[in-house]
């Protein structure tokens, strides 16, 4: 890919996302400590049109690209992890998979609500005994006339406590009669759906168990049946890129704090940033942040309105996730002993960064995929 530049519209959108996200900075502690969903921040994102950027224009959204979503999430992640995780589904996979594979009735019902900030979408993949292994999933959707019956149990589901819409990955019979990987949209008010145990994360958001006990939904709520595995795996590539974007924002936020501290904290009669050892650390971090940004921009820009390629998405996620852990650790070190205290905001960035390698596939999974790509070439 040659020289890459954002369009004037993207530059304007990025500036707006930065301005709005700064409003979230002081409130981030509130959302972390309370465990509450950041409705106030989500409403603000909806008011500005940022939350609906990934919704097609005919359903009231901005019709944006994956790159647009990545730009927005980086800015939110720079200021408030809880809000970034809340907006991730609206800007990313849940919205995109409904827009790409949903029936017209499903799109007309749910996508305008997403654009207005009235409906939160939760994606249900992980299961207690099988993790995120799609082929080993035990949740099923069986045909029942003009409906399907969804049964199973999911765990570690983000936003389940407030979600109006659940995109449920499951096994469903394809045209051949064999079980295929698919996905079904299940509304919160569907009889048999229940949200169970809540898990408080290090980042301040919450995860939940969700059960589907013979949930009966219209057949046109099936998002993927035949060729579902390929479709769903391509969807994961988008999730990987946006996960990486949140990690990038977290790293940038920590770097900003560290640079400011290096300019203002004095030791030995001069700013600590003038000491070569520390200056080099900040320089290395800056190079890594820019490299991650370009990997993410390349993967998402090439995808356009489609789904990113696996190889490029994996490289972006792997590098950004591990980079964020290094950068946030260095940032805390710049603050010395005070960095380890709750009174300093830098400590939260270190906690926030830990999510990235866990969601959307571990670093080991990304390395496996990258290696397979190289060896097959």
Regarding pTM above 0.85, the answer is yes
- CATH number, span 121-225: 2.40.110.10
159-215 pLDDT, tens digit per residue, is 999 999 999 999 987 656 667 888 999 999 999 999 999 999 988 889 999 999 999
Is 151 strand, coil or helix?
Answer: strand
Q: Give the integer Cα–Cα distance in Å for 101 and 115.
A: 18
Domains 8-115 and 121-225 alike in fold:
no
Q: Give the integer Cα–Cα distance in Å for 284 and 261.
A: 17
- CATH number, span 229-376: 1.20.140.10
DSSP of 191-248:
TTEEEEEEEE-TTS-EEEEEEEEEEEEEGGGEEEBTBHHHHHHHHHHHHHHHHHHHHH
Pick the CATH number of 8-115 from 3.40.190.10, 3.40.50.1980, 1.10.20.140, 1.10.540.10: 1.10.540.10
306-321 pLDDT, tens digit per residue, is 889 999 999 999 999 9
**Domains of the chain by residue range:** 8-115, 121-225, 229-376
**Percent of the chain scoring above 90 in pLDDT:** 75
Helix ranges restricted to H, the chain: 8-25, 28-34, 39-47, 66-79, 81-91, 93-101, 104-115, 228-264, 276-303, 310-334, 346-353, 363-376
Other beta carbons less than 10 A from residue 343's beta carbon = 8
Integer angstrom CA distances of residue 187 from 119, 183, 274, 353, 373: 10, 13, 57, 32, 38
- At residue 325 the predicted structure's pLDDT band, cuts being 50, 70 and 90, is very high
239-280 pLDDT, tens digit per residue, is 999 999 999 999 999 999 999 999 988 788 888 888 888 899
Q: Which of 282, 267, 269 is nearest to 336 (CA)?
A: 267
Q: Give the integer Cα–Cα distance in Å for 245 and 355.
A: 12
Is 131 strand, coil or helix?
Answer: strand
Task: Give me the half-sphere count of Cα atoms (radius 13 Å) on the Cβ side of residue 16.
Answer: 17
Q: Give the integer Cα–Cα distance in Å for 248 and 159.
A: 22
Q: Give the integer Cα–Cα distance in Å for 334 and 297.
A: 29
With contact defined as beta carbons under 8 Å apart, do 208 and 196 qualify? yes
Q: Give the integer Cα–Cα distance in Å for 48 and 75.
A: 14
């Amino acid at each position: 890919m040659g020289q890459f530049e954002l369009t004037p519209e993207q530059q304007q959108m990025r500036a707006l996302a930065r301005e709005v996200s700064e409003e979230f900075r002081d409130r981030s502690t509130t959302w972390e400590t309370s465990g509450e969903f950041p409705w106030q921040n989500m409403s603000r994102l909806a008011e500005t049109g940022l939350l609906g950027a990934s919704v097609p224009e005919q359903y009231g959204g901005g019709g944006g690209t994956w790159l647009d979503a990545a730009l927005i999430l980086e800015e939110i992640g720079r200021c408030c992890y809880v809000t970034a995780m809340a907006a991730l589904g609206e800007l990313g996979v849940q919205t995109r998979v409904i827009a790409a594979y949903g029936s017209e009735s499903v799109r007309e019902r749910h996508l305008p609500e997403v654009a207005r900030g009235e409906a939160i979408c939760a994606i249900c993949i992980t299961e207690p005994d099988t993790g995120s292994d799609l082929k080993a999933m035990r949740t099923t959707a069986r045909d029942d006339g003009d409906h399907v019956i969804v049964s199973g149990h999911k765990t570690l589901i983000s936003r389940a406590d407030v979600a109006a819409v659940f995109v449920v990955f499951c096994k469903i019979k394809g045209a051949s009669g064999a079980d295929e990987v698919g996905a079904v949209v299940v509304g919160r008010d569907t009889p048999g759906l229940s949200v169970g145990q809540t898990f408080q994360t290090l980042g301040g958001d919450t995860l939940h168990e969700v059960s589907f006990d013979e949930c009966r939904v219209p057949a046109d709520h099936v998002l993927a049946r035949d060729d579902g595995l390929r479709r769903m795996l391509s969807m994961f590539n988008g999730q990987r890129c946006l996960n990486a974007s949140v990690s990038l924002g977290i790293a940038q936020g920590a770097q900003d704090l560290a640079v400011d501290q290096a300019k203002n904290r004095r030791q030995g009669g001069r700013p600590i940033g003038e000491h070569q050892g520390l200056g080099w650390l900040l320089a290395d971090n800056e190079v890594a942040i820019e490299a991650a940004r370009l990997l993410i921009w390349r993967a998402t820009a090439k995808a356009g309105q489609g789904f990113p390629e696996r190889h490029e998405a994996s490289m972006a996620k792997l590098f950004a996730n591990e980079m964020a852990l290094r950068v946030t650790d260095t940032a805390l070190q710049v603050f010395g002993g005070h960095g380890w205290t709750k009174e300093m905001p830098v400590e939260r960035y270190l906690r926030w960064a830990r999510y990235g390698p866990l969601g959307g596939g571990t670093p080991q999974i990304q390395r496996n995929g990258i290696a397979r790509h190289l060896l097959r070439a």
